[in-house]
Amino acid sequence: MHRIKVRVVEEALDANNTIARANRDDFDRQDVAVVNLMSAPGAGKTTLLERVLAELDGVRAGVLEGDVQGSFDADRLAALHIPVVQLNTGHGFGGECHLDANMVRSALPSLPLADLDLLVIENVGNLVCPAEFAVGEDVRVMVCSVTEGEDKPLKYPLMFRRCELVLVNKIDLLPHLDFDLDRFLYFLDQVHPGVERMLVSARTGEGVAAWRDWLASVPGRERAVA
């Protein structure tokens, strides 16, 4: 029983990688750098985007918003007057817990790629499967809230290992939590030694300028690599 299930999943991942490469080719042809933004539910992805997307200094950004249901986050980001496309995964059964390459591909015709330098794909809130499904991105960023506890890198290692940047969010709450930041960073370095990390608070704005500059520099960095 179980062996068959795993086999199906692996075949699905192969197909996913093929489609992810096709997406990536399309993004490259249009010269669009793509960030896959991931986190647990409620870690602050949308608020961290709201904070910086309107001030990216000449970088034309758009967002592909992934959710099981609804367009809450897309509505918030559309208020910034940037292109936002909502992708809902809640068809079929109870809803897919991640975006896959084929879902992203289905949204490409709705995105004005020729007018963008940067596309942020805000994934479904989940620390497991989004890390397993490439969608055609150049870089992966994850948000981890200090309210989630210090042990998360050890419990969800693939997610932390796959990212080029870890945003440690809600640091304004540190005085009110039993959260040992040094212990968290030690665990982070155990699963992804030296990975770039930023301490931020979307609420107070602490660290947000560094996050904005990092995000604004993604298109230039990706062009230099290509």
Nearest approach in angstroms of CB 158 to its own copies is 4
Q: Which is nearer to its own copies, 43 or 218 (CB)?
A: 43
Question: Exposed, middle or buried: residue 77 (CB in 10 Å: 0-12, 13-18, 19+)?
Answer: buried
Q: Which of 125, 116, 140, 111 is nearest to 36 (CA)?
A: 140
Q: Which residues partner with 145 through β-bridges? A: 169
Piece of 29-37, 51-59, 140-148, 218-226 that binds its own copies (CB under 8 A): 140-148
Q: Which is nearer to its own copies, 170 or 197 (CB)?
A: 170
10, 58, 194, 224: residue in contact with its own copies (rule CB under 8 A): 10
Question: Exposed, middle or buried: residue 3 (CB in 10 Å: 0-12, 13-18, 19+)?
Answer: exposed
Nearest approach in angstroms of CB 11 to its own copies is 9
Contact positions with its own copies (CB under 8 A) in 75-104: 91-97, 102-103
- 201 sits near its own copies (criterion: CB under 8 A): no
DSSP string, 20-84: HHHHHHHHHHTT-EEEEEEESTTSSHHHHHHHHGGGSTT--EEEEEEESS--HHHHHHHTTSS-E
CA–CA dist 77, 61 (Å, integer)? 11
Tell me the one-letter amino acid at 176: H
Nearest approach in angstroms of CB 182 to its own copies is 17
- 112 sits near its own copies (criterion: CB under 8 A): no
Q: Site size for its own copies, by CB under 8 A?
A: 54
CA–CA dist 218, 59 (Å, integer)? 9
> How are the residues of the chain apportioned to helix, strand and coil, as percentages rounded to the nearest 5?
50, 20, 35
- CA–centroid distance for 76 within its chain: 17
23, 86, 123, 145: residue in contact with its own copies (rule CB under 8 A): 145
Q: Which is nearer to its own copies, 24 or 203 (CB)?
A: 203
Nearest approach in angstroms of CB 75 to its own copies is 11
109, 114, 176, 194: residue in contact with its own copies (rule CB under 8 A): 176
Chain residues binding its own copies by CB under 8 A are: 1-2, 5-6, 8-10, 12-13, 15, 19, 40-42, 67-70, 72, 91-97, 102-103, 124-129, 131-132, 145, 147-149, 151-152, 154-158, 170, 172-173, 176-178, 203
